[in-house]
Amino acid sequence: MRVFDRRYEMMPRPQMEQLQLERLQALLVRLKRNVRRYREQIGDKQVESLEEITSLPFTTLDDMAESFPYGMFSLPLREVIRLHSTLGPKGTPLIIGHSQNDLTHWGRLVARQFVASGVTPNDVIQICLGGGSYRGGAGYVLGAELIEASVIAEEPFHIDYQLAMLQNYRPTMLITTPTDAKQLARTIAERRLDPQSLHLRTLLLSRPVNEESRGHLEAGLMVKVQSSFGIEEVLNPGLCVECESGNFHVNEDQFLVETANRELVITTLCREAMPLLRYRTGVACTLNRAKCPCGRTGILLTPGERMDGRLLVRETPLYQEQIHDVLSRSPMAGQPFSIEIQEQRIIVEVEISSQLFSDMIWGMEKMRSEIESSFLFRLGVNAEVRFSAPGKGENPLN
């Protein structure tokens, strides 16, 4: 078994707690000095033990949205050398900043996952996360470069091209989304291709899937399947390492994790550009300190469902408010609607009033097509709009 950063990944518990306390105390000093929001919230509070962190205030997605764009930054903007955006509450944008050291740390954290996945400098890694997931891809590139594995930084736009790349470039690891991985496995099965003719050994998924899906992918692609788990606003990938035993170990030298009413709460101990104190992630999880056969000492995290109503359509995060917003800018504004999430698309069923109804089919089709285009254009998701008779349902936002 290989470990990238033995000192931190296998650090004895007492030493890790000492390190976390030191980093937490230093973080509080920096936050009080550099971030007005925290200065006002923390005041003169100090912590003398890790348990006392519960006396400190939470940070929420709303706090981050209110501080948009740069209010949460702890460094002057000129020292923030990478800016990524992510989805805030109700679909508003958020900016996540990284300093030079943040990127260095990010690369090391992702390299921990790669080494746990058996990647060596002889491996070729294809990163294929879809156009909207550049920020995650950037982390994987940093990690791969650190362990000197080759990276295919080309994004195939069609499944045929993807297959050709797997056959020609012979990547040994594919990093992709569960949706794309399933499609790949389906295509290989439909075309009766031999997955063993590819050189793939490992499939690293951008998010965890259930055991059934994992089994299908392992059988369909004849690979070992591992997953990343991260939080976009904090770090994704890089929050955890999925070890050889299939457990997610939190990188505790960098992140202090706790739960509040089942919700994962994270404090970033080393982030320079945009440190977060007790950030409520909106994701349910369980934490436990069971001993893992892999020898890593990081706390075990089992991720659960999202608790904040965020949906995922073809790996694109989405809030119901965004759907409402698209509809409100169409002739269907104010009409009750219901949604059904499918793997590749979203089905929006809108009740149509008698005033909007027309017996001219082309008129209704044109309206439907315009709304579907708006979903794709504004939210980046494929939507199928269906019209239904009034009185069938209620607007989920009312």
Output the smallest distance, CB 70 to another protein, in A: 10
Select 177 or 254, whichever has its Cβ closest to another protein.
Answer: 254
* CA atoms of 63 and 68, how far apart (whole Å): 9
Summarize as ranges the residues that interact with another protein (CB under 8 A): 14-15, 18-19, 21-23, 25-26, 29-30, 33-34, 46, 48, 74-76, 79, 100-101, 104-105, 270, 272
DSSP track, 321-381? HHHHHHHHTSTTTT--EEEEE-SS-EEEEEE--TTT--S-HHHHHHHHHHHHHHIIIII--
Select 21 or 61, whichever has its Cβ closest to another protein.
Answer: 21
* CA atoms of 374 and 50, how far apart (whole Å): 48
Output the smallest distance, CB 6 to another protein, in A: 13
Select 74 or 179, whichever has its Cβ closest to another protein.
Answer: 74
* CA atoms of 218 and 224, how far apart (whole Å): 6
Q: How many helices (H) and strands (E) does the chain have?
A: 11, 18
Select 42 or 204, whichever has its Cβ closest to another protein.
Answer: 42
Output the smallest distance, CB 298 to another protein, in A: 18
Distances in whole angstroms, Cα of residue 256 to Cα of each of 74, 201, 249, 278, 355: 18, 33, 12, 8, 56
Select 110 or 301, whichever has its Cβ closest to another protein.
Answer: 110
Q: What per-residue string of b and e applies to 179-211 under the rule 16 or more CB within 10 Å gives b?
A: bbbbbbbeebeeeeeebeebebbbbbbbbbbee
Q: Which one, of 247, 259, 270, lies nearest residue 19 by Cα? A: 270
Output the smallest distance, CB 55 to another protein, in A: 15
Select 81 or 312, whichever has its Cβ closest to another protein.
Answer: 81
Select 269 or 346, whichever has its Cβ closest to another protein.
Answer: 269
Alpha-carbon 381 to chain mean position: 17
Output the smallest distance, CB 270 to another protein, in A: 7
Select 10 or 19, whichever has its Cβ closest to another protein.
Answer: 19
Q: What angle do CA 299, 304, 306 make, to 5 degrees?
A: 125
Burial of 304 (0-12, 13-18, 19+ CB in 10 A): middle
Distances in whole angstroms, Cα of residue 63 to Cα of each of 71, 90, 304, 390: 10, 13, 23, 39
Output the smallest distance, CB 211 to another protein, in A: 38
Distances in whole angstroms, Cα of residue 174 to Cα of each of 114, 200, 202, 211, 226: 11, 7, 7, 19, 10
Output the smallest distance, CB 94 to another protein, in A: 21
Select 108 or 182, whichever has its Cβ closest to another protein.
Answer: 108
Output the smallest distance, CB 46 to another protein, in A: 6
Output the smallest distance, CB 256 to another protein, in A: 14
- Taking residue 267's Cβ as centre, other Cβ atoms within 10 Å add up to 25
